[in-house]
Chains A and B, each alone.
Chain A
Amino acid sequence: MSYGRKITLKSSDGETFEVDEAVGSESQTIKHMIEDDCADNAIPLPNVTSKMLSKVIEYCKKHVETPKPDDNDELKAWDADFVKVDQATLFDIILAANYLNINSLLDLTCQTVADMIKDKTPEEIRKTFHIKNDFTPEAEEEVRKENQWAFE
């Protein structure tokens, strides 16, 4: 089923994707470009690779197609599966969702990362996200003492 006209999106690596206007409009960035009449030719998205764009389009398509009561269990399950990707991809989706201004996708992906942090120790957090410990030993000791209550 198609709603209205089709628009063409062009990724940073030159690949083009044709989608329904409704699907593209899930992105506020793209929606504004359509409204400003910049959508007659392909809309260039220099910050989004073809791999990411196809993932984002998959998300937007599903959300446009699914009827929307807030307690839609099937959609929630689909979303949970959608974010079962490796960490690098997850962060790339966050960047794409932010650039394309897709609130629900940004919310979903950021919440997923937050859920990964939950209940972890600082060491586990550093390990999971490859974060460098940039404290001096003295500073680390101090911040650990200040936040000792969180380790009980």
Chain B
Amino acid sequence: MEDLPPSLALEILSRLTDSADLARCRVASKTLKDLSYEVRTLNHLCTLSQYLKSRSSDADPLIMPFKTIFKNLVRNSPRLECVSIGVEKSLGRRSFVEVEDDYDDLYLSDVSFMKDWLPVIGGRLRSLSISDFWSQSSWRRSDALALISSCCSSLVELELKNTWLSVDGLNIMPQLTNLTLEFVRLDDEDLNKVNFCFMGLQVLNLIGVGGLKEPKIELLHLKRFHWTVSNAPLSLIILAPNLVELKLECIKPKLLVLDTPSLSDLHLTIEEVNEFKVKEFGCLKCLKLVSLNPFSVTGMLRLSRTVKMLTVDIPRSIDSVASKLSLGTLFDCFPNLRSLKLGSGAWSGMEALFCAGGLEGGIGMKSVKEITTYLMLYEMDTTLAFLFCVLDRCTNLSDVSLLIHCEVDSSTASKFISKCRANWPGVRWRWGMWEEGTEDIWVTDAC
């Protein structure tokens, strides 16, 4: 490594994601020490064990506080462009009720702390991330946004987590393209300041942002938007003419407005909606819908002709027949489908309707080429009957992927698989296992 030119040694040091690793390199040799201060990225994390040590009764009084270490690191690294400071995930969300913490040693959005280091590097900074310690930040309102907007004229990416933010004094940041607010209480109830000050945003993530009343997102350049919102806001409005990807997870908004004519990818998780105003989607290719009542949602969506990939699921908490989601009608709504994926709730609902009244045709059945479905296999014969009927109608189907719940015993699963293969040898079968909360396991690839 000593034979590498300094620029390449620096490339290596720059890829160390943890400031502690960089610090240990510093002690290895003088050459590495000098190089280490040239890095452009700093990630400083407070781990759970460091936190517990600092709180233990025999804590070493000579241990440098987390914030002091960080300030020293920043002061010694004049080339920093990407900075991230935070507490480990397990510390980030501990509820205020559980842990009352009047200290501020880990209150990272504290403006008086930020004033000690941000102005020094702010002008060069391109990316900033602060993951605060909820027990210390949740009850203190921070003016961090105002400070960031006044110091960081080159900032392109900003991420703030686990804190309470005011928008007083926030200046415009036209160069900011990526913004993530996660588990944040934001005092901008309709998002007016966000729209006005961050007008250049291309990627926006609002995950668990509270304090909203009638939030409206109106951003001309927005391309990707991920919004996870509670049921507190009365309405949800998105006006984004260049939005290409939207992932929206909400519960039961009274009003949902989507004016996003360029949308190509929509992932919508919603229980129900009273009033749904949506302009026609001229280029929607991929739709993922998780809803208690997918049918009423698709009815309101009025999209369909362009959709090629569709995923539908119903949360298993409700009686599956009540969903009235019939496969035939789904294919009517989406006549140009190439690929369909059905969650276990959706499949069970359709299977129940099939038992009650058979399977009507749908236009899309002729175009679909691949189907993936998640099965519980409560009644194998019923599932087989439904599956074979589907295969019969979908004449262009070439690939079928079935994931069987891991609680199904293996002899049932094997019987099921052999019957499928025997009856439909012309189809490419793919098998796997699934379980809630874990990644799917594929058992065989196409045979």
Contacts and interface: CB of A to CB of B under 8 A. Distances in A.
Nearest to A91: B4
Interface in B64-97: 64, 69, 72
B63 A118 contact: no
Size category of the binding interface on chain A? 35 or more
Interface stretch (B16-24, B302-310, B329-337, B425-433): B16-24
B30 A118 contact: no
A143 B26 contact: yes
B11 interface: yes
A137 to B, nearest CB: 12
A82 B297 CA distance: 49
A28 to B, nearest CB: 16
A94 interface: yes
Contact of A118 (B8, B16, B23): B16
A147 B24 contact: yes
A149 B15 contact: no
Contact of B23 (A106, A131, A140, A149): A149
Contact of A134 (B17, B19, B29, B64): B29
Interface in B326-344: none
B1 A130 contact: yes
A110 B24 CA distance: 18
A151 interface: yes
Contacts of B14: 110
A110 B15 contact: yes
A contact face: mostly helix, strand, loop, or mixed:
helix
B31 interface: yes
B33 interface: yes
Contacts of B102: none
Interface stretch (A10-18, A38-46, A119-127): A119-127
B16 A122 contact: no
B350 to A, nearest CB: 30
A114, A118, A149, A152 pick with most chain B CB within 10 angstroms? A149
Contact of A91 (B1, B7, B24): B1
Contact of B4 (A94, A117, A148): A94
A126 B4 CA distance: 15
Given A152-B53, A152-B63, A147 B12 contact: no
B8 A95 contact: yes
B356 interface: no
A82 B146 CA distance: 48
A117 B27 CA distance: 13
Contacts of A114: 12-13, 15-17
Contacts of B7: 98
Given A95-B4, A131-B32, 16 more contacts: A95-B8, A98-B7, A114-B12, A114-B16, A117-B25, A120-B24, A122-B24, A125-B24, A126-B29, A129-B2, A130-B1, A134-B29, A140-B27, A149-B64, A151-B24, A152-B49
**A-B interface, 7 closest residue pairs, ranked by CB to CB distance from nearest:** A150-B23, A114-B15, A129-B1, A122-B27, A147-B23, A150-B20, A122-B28
20 contacts: A106-B11, A110-B15, A113-B15, A114-B13, A117-B21, A117-B25, A118-B18, A118-B21, A120-B24, A121-B24, A122-B25, A122-B28, A132-B2, A133-B28, A134-B30, A148-B64, A149-B20, A150-B24, A152-B53, A152-B63
